Amino acid sequence: MMNFPENLVLNSDISDLHEPVLLKEVLEYLRPEDGGIVVDATLGMGGHSQAILERYPKISCLIGMDRDGEALELAAQRLEPWRRKVALFHANFADMADMLEAEGIRQVDAVLVDLGISSYQLEQSGRGFSFRKDEPLDMRMDRFSSIMAADLVNQLPKEKLEELIFTYGEERWAAKIASAIEAARQKGPILTSRELAEIVERAIPRRFHPKRIHPATKTFQAVRIAVNREFENLKKALDEVPGILKPGGRFLVISFHSLEDRLVKQAFRNDPRLRVITKRPVKPAAAETAANPRARSAKLRVAERLAGAGAEAQT
């Protein structure tokens, strides 16, 4: 468990580093009981957790987890006023069940998983998440992980690179992008986010550049997903979290692209331990997307733990 720093001074700008998406909707669907335990499994900058603690002051404990140690330290500052009922862990949300068991916790009231990348990681982490910056091509959410984006970009065979970009990025120009990367790396390693972004931008014919997003968006998404094993982690969490929810406990997942949303939708519908609460994904209101454009692709799905293990799967 991560301890709160001593003599900690709250940085008033922390709340500006990342705007939690679908906040109103998360608070409405969460519904923990008084004295209950809530897990924010992707704590990030702590925006959702702060709001949960304010809205539900009678919960006994909020457990925050994150793979990003730097984000975790910043969230600790934000949540310092509630330090007596907050426990923070530098951990992958896929390992939630084992972590809770090690802490002697068998059941919780609610689990929130936000699969988005934070504004801090994009703008201030210096790890090459953003195609708009010139930073080392890292993209690790956890700096202790062994594989960086540069490793994949420079070492994967062209065919594997094409498959990665097409599968995880749903990028129609994956073959041309992979060929362009191979040609570029023959001259020297690709080491920065700007280098990669410019290679991708040149590889896609200009008349086919998307209007709303940068041409490298999907490629960067694909590489980030692969570096952080995001789909493997999500599948593991979707399988294990229902087992740690008390009857009536809620499982909330916010996704940001169709591949993630599809995994969540299928897992919720096919798990006999769960009852689907949101028949369709909950999307941000127009006012939220106007204020925070990064929220435009967010989708929230909610399921509830059924009493007993023999309930029929959702159809």
Together in a domain, 68 and 190: no
Q: Which two tokens stand for residue 41?
A: 């499994």
List, for residues 244-269, the tens digit of each pLDDT value: 999 999 999 999 999 999 999 999 99
Pairing of strands 37-40, 108-114: parallel
Together in a domain, 52 and 69: yes
Predicted pLDDT at 314: 41
Predicted pLDDT at 81: 96
In a domain, 67, yes or no: yes
Range in 44-53, 58-67, 271-280, 302-311 with the lowest mean pLDDT: 302-311
In a domain, 133, yes or no: no
Together in a domain, 77 and 169: no
Q: Which two tokens stand for residue 272?
A: 């006999």
Q: What's the rounded mean pLDDT across residues 89-97?
A: 95
Distance CA 42, CA 142 (A): 12
Predicted pLDDT at 2: 61
List, for residues 199-212, the tens digit of each pLDDT value: 999 999 999 999 88
In a domain, 278, yes or no: yes
In a domain, 140, yes or no: no
pTM of the model: 0.89
Predicted pLDDT at 125: 72
Together in a domain, 167 and 202: yes
Give residue 3's pLDDT band: very low, low, confident or very high (50, 70, 90). Answer: low
Domain boundary among 227, 257, 272: 227
Together in a domain, 218 and 234: no
Together in a domain, 219 and 285: no
In a domain, 313, yes or no: no
In a domain, 1, yes or no: no
Range in 119-133, 155-169, 191-205, 225-239 with the lowest mean pLDDT: 119-133
Distance CA 236, CA 214 (A): 31
List, for residues 114-131, the tens digit of each pLDDT value: 998 866 676 767 888 888
- Tally of CB atoms within 10 A around 62: 26
Q: How many helices (H) and strands (E) in the chain?
A: 14, 7
List, for residues 9-47, the tens digit of each pLDDT value: 444 455 555 679 999 999 999 999 999 999 999 999 899
**Which CATH number does the domain housing residue 218 bear?**
1.10.150.170
pLDDT higher at 68 or 5: 68
Domain count of the fold of the chain: 2
Predicted pLDDT at 130: 87
Together in a domain, 182 and 158: yes
Give residue 309's pLDDT band: very low, low, confident or very high (50, 70, 90). Answer: low
In a domain, 135, yes or no: no
Question: Backbone dihedral region of 125: left (phi > 0), alpha (psi from -120 to 50 degrees) or beta?
Answer: alpha
Together in a domain, 20 and 104: yes
pLDDT higher at 13 or 67: 67
**Which CATH number does the domain housing residue 66 bear?**
3.40.50.150
**Cα atoms in the 13 Å half-sphere on the side-chain side of 71:** 31
Predicted pLDDT at 17: 52
At 236, is the secondary structure helix, strand, or coil? helix
What's the Cα-to-Cα distance from 84 to each of 79, 90, 96, 131, rounded to whole Å? Answer: 10, 18, 21, 40
Determine the Cα angle at 39 with ends 126 and 241, to 5°.
105
Together in a domain, 193 and 288: no
Together in a domain, 158 and 187: yes
Predicted pLDDT at 231: 96
Domain range for residue 219?
146-227
Predicted pLDDT at 120: 67
Together in a domain, 56 and 107: yes
Distance CA 233, CA 231 (A): 5
**Cα atoms in the 13 Å half-sphere on the side-chain side of 96:** 32
Domain boundary among 227, 250, 275: 227
Range in 54-63, 99-108, 302-311 with the lowest mean pLDDT: 302-311
Nearest CA to 115 among 268, 279, 241, 230? Answer: 230
Together in a domain, 158 and 283: no
* Residue 205, amino acid: P
In a domain, 139, yes or no: no
Q: Which two tokens stand for residue 226?
A: 């692969």
Q: What are the two backbone dihedrals, phi and then psi, of residue 66, each rounded to the nearest 5 degrees?
A: -160, 145
> Both ends of the chain: CA-CA distance in Å?
40
Which residue is associated with the tokens 């998307």?
A: 210
Domain boundary among 227, 244, 278: 227
